[in-house]
Structure 1
């Protein structure tokens, strides 16, 4: 097991540039052009929210801790960089990813319990055979080349929050931003510490109050502007944002990467405002049933 992200398979094999990721996805779509044309799907970000909602509901029912849920979300995202979604039963993939993630995060769940909660939580789940989860687990492991160790931003946040004297509310907001970034491509694009630093910067800039800790597109747009202002502020400016930006500059962390992460979250929250489950559910059910993937 790689204790360091810098020596990990995550960094070596599962961190892409945006161009590389787009190329991989285009290659998959081109290889399955007939399926893609026959069964159109909603925006990828809608699907990410839909999958995230399903996994969160199942994880809560099984009282699975956040890190295992996050690992499952990364597994799903990795898997679908290798396999065209229309060739799979997504609910089976999601349930199996969570089952496998619990093993890897040392909080294993009995396979029968997972299946029982799937039936309870997902009324439209289209599989009911334990052996399907076992078969899918083998496929997941194979497609990820047995590279299953995931490094998360939570550890970096825990190490840095004391240094930057985050309040309890700011820490909660940073944690929330990290949770939400799993609904984007960011886990495949940036190192965990970049995500954690982005979350801290946003938490400080947004100045959460007791009245609410909700992230939204408008708030993050303001945060991005504040970050830009801090970058151009006089050296004598000694507010907390400036201190964070100064620290980032001295640590050689790419500020442009932080801006890119913030923009990706803005895009997510903007899309989220118009999201409904029904569109994703109906479109997925269509190809699952038509292709007999529910058997």
Structure 2
């Protein structure tokens, strides 16, 4: 089954893949990845998603924890987390191949409330992993059949989320579905930071959005994201500034002002600390690549 999924992704991405290695499909939130060589380190703030690695190897650091994902592994990002990642095993003959699916939080909430929180045996969890990959395989294979895809995509996404709840990632996914869980409360604050990241946001405003006291908010925010709210906003600004520099062709000073910085020297210092190069040199390096 995994081989069938691998072949489906390999076939679909052979002609569809973009320069960055990502194939955005007609289903929002479903991305296929194909990279023919090891990559450099990339910073990103990742929304809740499931990633199935089918070929090659990817190294991902979240906070102080480092993970390596190889063929057959599944990675769950259960909250809006800053990640540092790079593909470490890939070649033209055997490119890195993966499937990424953004999680549908309202759907998880619905399925969480439908399913009682009963213990799941190891045998059941193993079966859920098998069924999850089979559902992803059928979803990817339907991309080449528009009528079938239009008819089945909703039920297949629902099935994928169901098996996620039943599998080894179930507890982390379930926390996303509980309306009053700490994960969901922090997610409300993260949504506010994402929408207003260029503005100065007080901790009081963020804590209010999360429905927590300031002290509880600080504690749970760091637990969920590995960063303080200020650090989180700073990384979001710098990652967006880098995107503007490399894709939008802006100058460093214009990019800094676009994301909310008032001091160019502070922007340059913090940009260099995060990405290893000052903005101008980093943009030139990206153009050479």
TM-score where L is the length of structure 2: 0.27
Structure in which a larger fraction of residues adopt helix: 1
TM-score where L is the length of structure 1: 0.26
Structure in which a larger fraction of residues adopt strand: 2
Whose relative contact order is higher, 1 or 2, with alpha carbons under 8 Å and at least 6 apart? 1
